[in-house]
Amino acid sequence: MVTQSFFQPFLNPPKSSTQTRHKLLFFSLSIAALFSLAYLGLIIFQSHFSENSINTLALCDKSHDPPSCLASISEIISTFNPDDHLHLHHRSNGPDLLGKILEGHVAHINNAVEVTRDKMKSNEERGDGALAVCLELMDLARDRVVDSIKVLGVKSKGKDMSAWLSAVLTNYVTCLDMVQDYPHLMGLRPTLEGLILRARAFLAINAKLSGFGSGRVRDFSESLFGVNDRVRNFFESSGSMGMYPSWLRPSDRKLLEASGREIKADVVVAKDGSGDFTTVGEAVAAAPDKEEERFVIYVKEGVYDEIVEVPKKKKNVMIVGDGMDLTIITGSLNVVDNPELGTFRTPTLGKLFLLYLICIQFNAYSNL
């Protein structure tokens, strides 16, 4: 009787124990179903890409923040229409996905620009200079993203694209650093941090696709993939005596082989008034916008105390002087005289800009 009483709970479990086990079984099956759905989702996500394409889940291997990188991919995938899915199924490769991500990023830049402009309109305190520089940096970043989209998949442009996308991240980080100097502008921080996360994501994806970099893109400085190789390749010559980089056009090489006085210039700058202009800035302003042919500005011997900016719309400008010791452009940014400049003012250069036989002396100082 004692033995029977001891084992009876095991032989005849109470009804409440049966219900508990049923609940546990149901819970276990539910967990299994959730994992199955997650795995199925992973398979569906991966099925957008052909067997010969790069593993999409491995695209973020080099990312500073893999979860954020994957979130960027998911974000763009969620916007796909049926035609996009069909395209990626038949022609799927990493560059297609990267292209979609970059196209989506242009919209994020545009949104950030609008947010910054609205902040500038409502801003009544010191910091307008920082906002103006941020707008300029975002504009340049947008240009570099668009340039990258245009050359996507072109192997010969791979290193250029890496440099451009690295510059995009540089611009965002610089803007964030400037904004953080002004507590009342910290409302822009989430927008800028969002741009930085996305920039890190497409940098990592580009690194994976192009094979640049052996480790993760852990921070801002490591996003400059293969910088030593780029510097070395920059000076590889396909011209005479190894003097010029391979990308330099033959017509430009001929210009660089001549002295300033021998070059047929479009305009001449001379301090003594013997040229078309007395300042370099005036000559740059006179250059046509988006010029397809080289516009040459010859700057005669002298010291020109000015800060020269070549806007991006001034394309194909070349400024040539009489020599590094003879033609000197110097200028200063004094934070006391120009408080809105802070300690930074971005140099803006137009595309295909060349500077030859000129010494640039730039002084940034603060009398604090």
Q: What is the pLDDT of residues 282-340, one digit of tens each?
A: 998 999 988 888 888 899 999 988 877 777 778 888 888 888 788 888 865 443 444 44
Average pLDDT of span 198-219: 67
Lowest mean pLDDT among 77-86, 151-160, 186-195, 230-239: 230-239
267 — pLDDT class (breaks 50, 70, 90): very high
Calculate what percentage of the chain has a pLDDT beyond 90: 15
pLDDT digits (tens, 9 = 90+) for 86-143: 445 444 456 777 888 899 999 999 999 999 999 888 766 677 888 888 898 899 899 9
pLDDT mean across residues, the chain:
69
**202 neighbors 102 (Cβ within 8 angstroms):** yes
Query: Is pLDDT larger for residue 62 or for residue 157?
Result: 157
Q: What sign does the dihedral 259-265-270-273 (CA atoms) show?
A: positive
- Looking at the predicted structure, is the pLDDT value of residue 221 above 50? no
Q: Let me know if 105 is exposed, middle or buried by CB neighbors in 10 A (0-12, 13-18, 19+).
A: buried
Q: How far apart are CA 52 and CA 57, in angstroms?
A: 14
**162 neighbors 207 (Cβ within 8 angstroms):** yes
CATH dotted code for 56-232: 1.20.140.40
CATH architecture of the domain 248-365 equals: 3 Solenoid (2.160)
DSSP per-residue letters across 229-264: HHHHHHT--SSGGG-S-TTS-HHHHHHHTS-GGGS-
Where are the domains positioned within the chain? 56-232, 248-365
pLDDT given at position 128: 80
Report field, pTM of the whole predicted structure over 0.75: no
Q: How far apart are CA 288 and CA 315, in angstroms?
A: 8
